[in-house]
Amino acid sequence: MPDSAPQQLLHLVIGGELVDLEHNTFKNLDDVEIVGLYPNYATAHAAWRAKAQSTVDNAQMRYFIVHLHRLLDPNQEPAR
């Protein structure tokens, strides 16, 4: 890969209905939606916002951004 390629900071957006609002436990793992995999936080955040806003009438629905790049390289310094 050439040195000029932009750094990929992979992010995954997932969501589904929670058991309750106190915990991040999904009611049914078979129904968890994988919204998509994104190359940076900005595009992941845009996808997260769109999904969250589309389900605003259901208080139990939650969407999350998973920072996959931190899982793939745990020694990587967080961006400041």
| Cα-based distances in Å from 39 to 8, 9, 18, 44, 66 | 5, 6, 27, 8, 12
Q: List domains and CATH numbers for the chain.
A: 11-70 (3.30.70.2400)
- Higher pLDDT: 77 or 35? It is 35
Q: What is the DSSP string of 33-49?
A: EEEEEESSHHHHHHHHH
Classify residue 75 as exposed, middle or buried by CB count within 10 Å of its CB (0-12, 13-18, 19+): exposed
pLDDT at 72: 81
pLDDT digits (tens, 9 = 90+) for 24-76: 999 999 999 999 999 999 999 999 999 999 999 999 999 999 999 888 877 76
pLDDT at 14: 98
Dihedral (Cα; 70, 44, 51, 61), 10-degree rounding? 10
What is this structure's pTM?
A: 0.81
How many other CB atoms are found less than 10 A from the CB of residue 14? 17
